[in-house]
């Protein structure tokens, strides 16, 4: 399943919702510095990233987030990695930028 959302009406942070209305993460910040955009937060996901036209930058959430485990102890039991934090950055090639989260076969795109 592929879902598209718009983050245009949202400030620089927002929850990441799955198709079943469960929260699977949170974007803590979106920063634009010249032509570079960076997004940080946490996600219970296989992959997060930025897509700008044909360019796609992705990574596995791999930063420790003890605050997430404390708030959502069920994630500690459900995940083998126990690391949910991410920070992803890319140089912009256009104004059509998406932040995406892939969880299994589901991918959620947020238009920035």
Q: What is the pLDDT of residues 21-32, one digit of tens each?
A: 888 999 999 888
Q: Domain 2-111: give its CATH code.
A: 2.60.40.10
Write out the E strands in the chain: 2-6, 14-17, 23-33, 36-43, 47-52, 55-59, 85-91, 97-103, 106-111
Question: How far apart are alpha carbons 80 and 101 in whole angstroms?
Answer: 18
**Domains of the chain by residue range:** 2-111
Residue whose tokens read 């930028």: 97
- pTM confidence score: 0.85
Q: What is the pLDDT of residues 58-93, one digit of tens each?
A: 999 999 998 988 888 887 666 666 789 999 998 877
């Amino acid at each position: 399943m592929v879902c598209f959302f718009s983050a245009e009406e949202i400030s620089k942070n927002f929850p990441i919702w799955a198709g079943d209305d469960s929260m699977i993460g949170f974007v803590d910040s979106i920063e634009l510095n010249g032509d570079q955009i960076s997004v940080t937060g946490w996600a219970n996901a296989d992959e997060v990233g930025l897509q700008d036209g044909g360019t796609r930058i992705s990574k596995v959430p791999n930063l420790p987030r003890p605050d997430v485990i404390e708030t959502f102890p069920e994630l500690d039991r459900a995940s083998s990695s126990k690391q949910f934090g991410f920070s992803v950055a890319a140089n912009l090639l256009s104004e059509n930028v998406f932040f995406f989260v892939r969880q299994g076969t589901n991918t959620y795109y947020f238009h920035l």
